[in-house]
Protein backbone atom coordinates (compact mmCIF):
# COMPACT_ATOMS: atom_id res chain seq x y z
CA UNK A 1 0.00 0.00 0.00
CA UNK A 2 1.49 3.26 -1.09
CA UNK A 3 0.59 5.37 1.95
CA UNK A 4 1.96 6.07 5.41
CA UNK A 5 1.26 8.16 8.48
CA UNK A 6 3.89 10.82 9.15
CA UNK A 7 4.38 11.96 12.74
CA UNK A 8 5.24 15.62 12.70
CA UNK A 9 7.43 17.36 15.26
CA UNK A 10 5.41 19.77 17.39
CA UNK A 11 7.03 22.94 18.69
CA UNK A 12 4.95 23.75 21.72
CA UNK A 13 5.21 26.14 24.63
CA UNK A 14 2.87 28.20 26.79
CA UNK A 15 1.84 30.23 23.70
CA UNK A 16 0.50 27.22 21.81
CA UNK A 17 1.80 24.76 19.21
CA UNK A 18 3.40 24.92 15.79
CA UNK A 19 4.13 22.29 13.13
CA UNK A 20 6.33 22.90 10.08
CA UNK A 21 6.30 20.91 6.83
CA UNK A 22 9.22 21.42 4.44
CA UNK A 23 9.47 20.03 0.91
CA UNK A 24 12.15 17.37 0.52
CA UNK A 25 12.57 17.16 4.30
CA UNK A 26 9.71 15.93 6.49
CA UNK A 27 7.50 16.23 3.39
CA UNK A 28 8.98 13.69 0.92
CA UNK A 29 8.35 15.77 -2.22
CA UNK A 30 8.74 19.38 -3.34
CA UNK A 31 5.46 21.17 -2.66
CA UNK A 32 3.83 22.63 -5.80
CA UNK A 33 0.32 23.27 -4.46
CA UNK A 34 -1.58 23.70 -1.22
CA UNK A 35 -5.35 23.45 -0.94
CA UNK A 36 -7.78 23.00 1.89
CA UNK A 37 -11.21 21.52 2.45
CA UNK A 38 -13.64 22.99 4.99
CA UNK A 39 -17.37 23.29 5.76
CA UNK A 40 -17.57 19.50 5.44
CA UNK A 41 -20.73 17.54 6.31
CA UNK A 42 -20.90 14.13 8.07
CA UNK A 43 -23.26 12.62 5.50
CA UNK A 44 -21.17 13.62 2.48
CA UNK A 45 -18.36 11.60 0.90
CA UNK A 46 -15.50 12.97 -1.16
CA UNK A 47 -12.61 11.60 -3.13
CA UNK A 48 -13.44 8.37 -5.00
CA UNK A 49 -10.54 8.71 -7.34
CA UNK A 50 -6.85 7.91 -7.77
CA UNK A 51 -3.93 9.83 -9.22
CA UNK A 52 -1.44 8.62 -11.78
CA UNK A 53 1.36 10.95 -10.68
CA UNK A 54 0.28 13.05 -7.72
CA UNK A 55 1.70 12.56 -4.22
CA UNK A 56 0.08 14.33 -1.29
CA UNK A 57 0.21 14.87 2.45
CA UNK A 58 -3.15 15.44 4.10
CA UNK A 59 -3.49 16.91 7.59
CA UNK A 60 -6.70 17.23 9.61
CA UNK A 61 -5.94 20.69 10.99
CA UNK A 62 -9.24 20.56 12.87
CA UNK A 63 -11.78 17.79 13.39
CA UNK A 64 -11.65 14.29 11.95
CA UNK A 65 -12.50 12.20 8.93
CA UNK A 66 -11.89 8.70 7.67
CA UNK A 67 -9.91 7.81 4.56
CA UNK A 68 -10.44 4.54 2.72
CA UNK A 69 -7.27 3.60 0.86
CA UNK A 70 -7.23 0.98 -1.86
CA UNK A 71 -4.36 -0.23 -4.03
CA UNK A 72 -6.55 -2.43 -6.19
CA UNK A 73 -5.90 -5.49 -4.02
CA UNK A 74 -6.48 -4.39 -0.44
CA UNK A 75 -8.68 -1.77 1.25
CA UNK A 76 -7.66 -0.12 4.52
CA UNK A 77 -9.32 2.55 6.68
CA UNK A 78 -7.36 5.34 8.32
CA UNK A 79 -8.69 8.01 10.67
CA UNK A 80 -7.20 11.48 10.43
CA UNK A 81 -7.92 13.34 13.65
CA UNK A 82 -4.74 15.11 14.78
CA UNK A 83 -2.98 18.21 13.45
CA UNK A 84 0.41 16.62 14.16
CA UNK A 85 -0.16 13.56 11.93
CA UNK A 86 0.04 13.68 8.14
CA UNK A 87 -1.31 11.07 5.77
CA UNK A 88 1.09 10.60 2.86
CA UNK A 89 -0.61 9.08 -0.21
CA UNK A 90 1.55 8.09 -3.18
CA UNK A 91 0.67 7.30 -6.79
CA UNK A 92 -2.00 4.88 -7.92
CA UNK A 93 -3.98 4.74 -4.69
CA UNK A 94 -7.77 4.93 -4.75
CA UNK A 95 -9.03 7.15 -1.91
CA UNK A 96 -12.45 7.84 -0.44
CA UNK A 97 -13.14 10.31 2.38
CA UNK A 98 -16.12 9.96 4.69
CA UNK A 99 -17.42 10.38 8.27
CA UNK A 100 -16.37 14.02 8.38
CA UNK A 101 -16.90 15.71 11.71
CA UNK A 102 -18.82 19.00 11.48
CA UNK A 103 -16.40 21.71 10.49
CA UNK A 104 -13.52 19.34 9.77
CA UNK A 105 -10.67 21.18 8.07
CA UNK A 106 -8.16 19.36 5.89
CA UNK A 107 -4.98 20.94 4.59
CA UNK A 108 -3.37 19.17 1.64
CA UNK A 109 0.16 19.57 0.29
CA UNK A 110 0.53 18.36 -3.29
CA UNK A 111 3.52 17.45 -5.45
CA UNK A 112 2.00 18.76 -8.72
CA UNK A 113 -0.20 21.55 -9.98
CA UNK A 114 -3.88 20.72 -10.45
CA UNK A 115 -4.48 18.65 -13.59
CA UNK A 116 -7.86 16.97 -14.05
CA UNK A 117 -6.39 14.72 -16.79
CA UNK A 118 -4.22 13.06 -14.18
CA UNK A 119 -7.23 11.86 -12.13
CA UNK A 120 -8.73 8.37 -12.47
CA UNK A 121 -12.34 8.84 -11.36
CA UNK A 122 -13.73 5.47 -12.50
CA UNK A 123 -13.02 2.53 -10.15
CA UNK A 124 -13.03 -0.06 -12.96
CA UNK A 125 -10.52 2.00 -14.93
CA UNK A 126 -8.38 2.22 -11.77
CA UNK A 127 -8.50 -1.57 -11.27
CA UNK A 128 -7.51 -2.07 -14.87
CA UNK A 129 -4.60 0.37 -14.51
CA UNK A 130 -3.15 -1.30 -11.41
CA UNK A 131 -4.08 -4.95 -11.95
CA UNK A 132 -4.86 -5.34 -15.59
CA UNK A 133 -1.49 -4.85 -17.24
Residues that bind ligand T46 (CB under 6 A): 33, 35, 37, 46-47, 56, 58, 95, 108, 114
Least Cβ distance, residue 114 to ligand T46 (angstroms): 4
- Of 26 and 46, the one with the shorter C-beta distance to ligand T46 is 46
Nearest to 1 by CA among 75, 56, 78: 75
Active-site residue (options: 49, 51, 99, 113):
49
Q: Is 49 a catalytic residue?
A: yes
Q: Which is nearer to ligand T46, 9 or 121 (CB)?
A: 121
CB of 96 to ligand T46, least distance (A): 9
* Pick 18 or 77: Cβ nearer ligand T46: 77
Least Cβ distance, residue 12 to ligand T46 (angstroms): 27
> 52-71 burial string, b = 16+ CB within 10 Å, else e?
eebbbbbbbeebebebbbbb
Cα gap 52→10, rounded to integer Å: 32
Rg (CA), the chain: 15
Amino acid sequence: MNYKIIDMKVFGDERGKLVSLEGGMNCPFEIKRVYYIFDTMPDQERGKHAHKELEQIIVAIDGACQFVLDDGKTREEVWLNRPDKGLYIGKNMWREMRHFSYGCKLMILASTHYDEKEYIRDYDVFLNEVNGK
